[in-house]
Structure 1
Amino acid sequence: MRRIEYGYELCAGRPFRGQAQAELRAFLAEAELTYDPGIGYSVVIRDEAGRIAAAASLDRDTVKCAAVRPDLQGSGLMAQLITCLRQEAVSRGIRSLFLYTKPRNRRQFAELGFYEVAGTEEVLLMEDRRGGFAAWAAGIQDIRACGTVGCLAANCNPMTLGHRHLIEQAAARCDTLYLLVVSEDRSAVPAAHRRRIVEQAAGDLANVIVAETGRYLISSASFPDYFLKERAEAVWCGLDIAVFCRLARILGISRRFVGTEPLCPVTAAYNRAMAAALPQAGVELVELARLEQNGVPISATAVRKLIADGRWQEIKSLVPEAAYDYFSEEENRRLFLQRYQALTVSDQIVAQETGGR
């Protein structure tokens, strides 16, 4: 804790625990905000009486839960918080930040150097890198794209024959297909490895352009619930869809392809939200039937379970050759198991902190 101007004290935690976290949760509740279990670093400013006057937190590269007490708004406390979070981010090697806020706070954070990425009536996503989104979109855009342009986004953790089937079906229904592989590195198969497998397995499809979702689409910034499979809050579905619609305008995408989803509630909720929102943006949602084996959809979840149980040879009928070759290497299986086990523990902790939601 250190004293700053006008008698205020600034305190930081990685993250707060016990009574300190309970006080922060109560403060955020008064500001109609919910403490996020993904928070890894928090900063609060207390007044002379020891009460929280302002607070903001960091979840990887995203500022969350930022609020100033109503009677102190406009006093410069938020600028102090953002400065502290930027210093912490730089110490972690993070060079730019995202920020969640309510749309009514757009001007306040614009004055602190944040620029709008996308938003809904409930939440606004901003970044402190001018032109960041445009640069990302330009990196995806391919001069070969022509005619009817479609998009399919997939995690491919790992890629299965079910993914290959969806890619084939989508590619046959448009002239150009952008295949966006989720690049957030929070899966059992590392992001770079997932993309390499996809490129190998889909390399024979001439009209398919493989790219990544980057930090903007299906990421912990735009859609954190995607990585918390027990929940799917509409606000995050809507925000990620708003980000996609902005990308679609730039790339000329008029069709978004998805697979039917009988297994994962988060993906199913996302598909329903897209069905309602995309037509308003001039994008057709095309739902494709999942590939089945013995009457059951082929799923990456089942493949991961087989590998985790030491039965990796049994995945041969479920994955493309590139994926099977990948797991044939002991080093890759060992890396998978380390990450799989770590993610399982992390999911259990989050479930406890969110009441099992």
Structure 2
Amino acid sequence: MYDFVIEEINISNVNQLDDVKKFLKNFDLEFEENIDCTIVIKQGGKIVGTCSKSGNILKCFAIDSSMRGMGLSSKLVTWMNNKLFDQGVYHSFIFTKPENINIFTGVGYKLIQKVKEVALLETGVENINKHIKRIIEKYDLKNNKKAALVMNCNPFTWGHRYLIEKASLENEEVIIFIVEEDRSLFPFKYRYELVKQGVADLKNVKVVPGGEYIISSATFPNYFLRKKDDVLRIFTELDASIFGEYFCNELSINKRYVGEEPFCEVTQAYNETLSDTLEKYGVELEIVKRREFKGKAISASQVREVIKGGEISYLKNLVPDVTMKFLLSSEGKEIMEKIKYSTSPH
């Protein structure tokens, strides 16, 4: 009756992509980076709706206001989820504006969290409550008060060790969440193992994969883009509020430690938002002055710069033995070669 047609556009085709970007501008939306699939609904050759995805995250969703109530939202979401099913993916997220929440709860999505400008919902075989329950059981997390740290450790440095050790001395139990998203120069499997080995002597510390709900493309895409832009505060608040409402409440976390951030604007903004947001959940943020070497704060970015400059012997001043041993292994040498020729900040 309405002659609606769904088309997958060729995102490498400039003209097709420009049409989508122009349509999104009507809703104060921008076509985001790292999108791998975009579809549009057309009526009479004109775009009246669109949705994109990046991995298992649906985003850049918009429907012409004159077409509301005609089931276009369901058509777009169903098409995208069928695409994910074909790829063997059975859990997805969607970013949208808070005023659109009812649209997506009506097609099977469940709200995780909303802040003033954005809401995050999910559907599928996984959900945040199942995820946290699994963590509690797997890592035998008791119902006592805990401190937490969230770290990327790209790679594990003396600075990380110093911060963890301080938390260990000041608290009965400590959880370290290692960012699981594999968008760093050191892959997650190595970052995770280096931290586990590097804190094995601290018996009250448990090292846990961060999963999809802590500093991931779903909760905090700007962390990986390393861009300080207009939406940075939105996503830092979203990530911090998810951590406060779900992880702190369910895991009895009453304190979170972060290092003072003299280098990265994104991390500095994240720390500021963390402080404001966690306070609402009764969680204290402890900002710790970083360990220094020769008057300079030790950081993973400094380690990568030293590797880039080829000063391998200097690294023993910045990283523990476990990291040094890894860097000199065949896997470590391969990563160091990539770092030397990389333009990536992370």
Q: Which category describes the TM-score, using the shorter chain as reference length? A: over 0.9
TM-score, reference length from structure 2: 0.93
TM-score, reference length from structure 1: 0.90
The amino acid across from 1:267 in the alignment is: T
Q: Deviations over 1:104-146 (max 9, x none)?
A: 2222101211111112121111111366101111222243545
Counterpart of 2:333 in structure 1 is: 333
For the residue of structure 2 that corresponds to 1:281, the secondary structure is: coil
The amino acid across from 1:36 in the alignment is: E
Q: Deviations over 1:291-350 (max 9, x none)?
A: 0111110010111122234333321121111111111113332145347756x36x79xx
The counterpart of 1:192, out of the listed 189, 192, 195, is: 189
Q: In the TM superposition, what is the alpha-carbon distance from 1:162 to its structure 2 partner?
A: 0.3
Aligned positions of 1:25-36 closer than 5 A: 25-36=21-32
The counterpart of 1:124, out of the listed 108, 119, 122, is: 119
The counterpart of 1:72, out of the listed 57, 62, 67, is: 67
Could you tell me how far apart the structure 2 residues matched to 1:223 and 1:95 are?
A: 21
Counterpart of 2:239 in structure 1 is: 240
Could you tell me how far apart the structure 2 residues matched to 1:310 and 1:160 are?
A: 17
Aligned positions of 1:26-65 closer than 5 A: 26-48=22-44, 50-65=45-60
Q: In the TM superposition, what is the alpha-carbon distance from 1:189 to its structure 2 partner?
A: 0.6
Could you tell me how far apart the structure 2 residues matched to 1:42 and 1:93 are?
A: 18
The amino acid across from 2:291 in the alignment is: L
Could you tell me how far apart the structure 2 residues matched to 1:68 and 1:154 are?
A: 38
Q: Percent same amino acid at aligned positions?
A: 31
Using the TM superposition, name which of 144-153 and 234-243 deviates more: 144-153
Could you tell me how far apart the structure 2 residues matched to 1:177 and 1:108 are?
A: 40
Q: Deviations over 1:83-121 (max 9, x none)?
A: 221232233332211100112222210121111111212
Counterpart of 1:351 in structure 2 is: none
Structure 2 vs 1, CA of residues 93 and 335 (structure 1 numbering), >3 Å: closer, same or farther? farther
Q: In the TM superposition, what is the alpha-carbon distance from 1:247 to its structure 2 partner?
A: 1.3
Structure 2 vs 1, CA of residues 333 and 67 (structure 1 numbering), >3 Å: closer, same or farther? same
Structure 2 vs 1, CA of residues 148 and 255 (structure 1 numbering), >3 Å: closer, same or farther? same
The amino acid across from 2:236 in the alignment is: C
Structure 2 vs 1, CA of residues 58 and 336 (structure 1 numbering), >3 Å: closer, same or farther? farther
Could you tell me how far apart the structure 2 residues matched to 1:15 and 1:60 are?
A: 15
**1:170 partnered with 2:136:** no
Counterpart of 2:221 in structure 1 is: 224
Structure 2 vs 1, CA of residues 117 and 306 (structure 1 numbering), >3 Å: closer, same or farther? same
Counterpart of 2:156 in structure 1 is: 159
For the residue of structure 2 that corresponds to 1:172, the secondary structure is: helix
Q: In the TM superposition, what is the alpha-carbon distance from 1:278 to its structure 2 partner?
A: 1.1
**1:210 partnered with 2:207:** yes
The amino acid across from 2:32 in the alignment is: D
Could you tell me how far apart the structure 1 residues matched to 2:296 and 2:279 are?
A: 31
Aligned positions of 1:301-316 closer than 5 A: 301-316=301-316
Could you tell me how far apart the structure 1 residues matched to 2:304 and 2:335 are?
A: 13
**1:137 partnered with 2:136:** no
For the residue of structure 2 that corresponds to 1:278, the secondary structure is: helix
Could you tell me how far apart the structure 1 residues matched to 2:66 and 2:143 are?
A: 55
Runs of 4 or more, structure 1, over 6 Å off, are none
For the residue of structure 2 that corresponds to 1:85, the secondary structure is: helix
Structure 2 portions without partners, runs of 5+: none
Counterpart of 2:107 in structure 1 is: 112
Could you tell me how far apart the structure 1 residues matched to 2:97 and 2:134 are?
A: 29
For the residue of structure 2 that corresponds to 1:188, the secondary structure is: coil
For the residue of structure 2 that corresponds to 1:127, the secondary structure is: strand
The counterpart of 1:21, out of the listed 12, 17, 23, is: 17
8 Å Cα contact 1:55/1:67 also seen in 2: yes
For the residue of structure 1 that corresponds to 2:191, the secondary structure is: helix
Counterpart of 1:318 in structure 2 is: 318
8 Å Cα contact 1:14/1:40 also seen in 2: no
The amino acid across from 1:20 in the alignment is: Q
For the residue of structure 2 that corresponds to 1:169, the secondary structure is: helix
The amino acid across from 2:35 in the alignment is: I
Counterpart of 2:76 in structure 1 is: 81
Could you tell me how far apart the structure 2 residues matched to 1:72 and 1:46 are?
A: 11
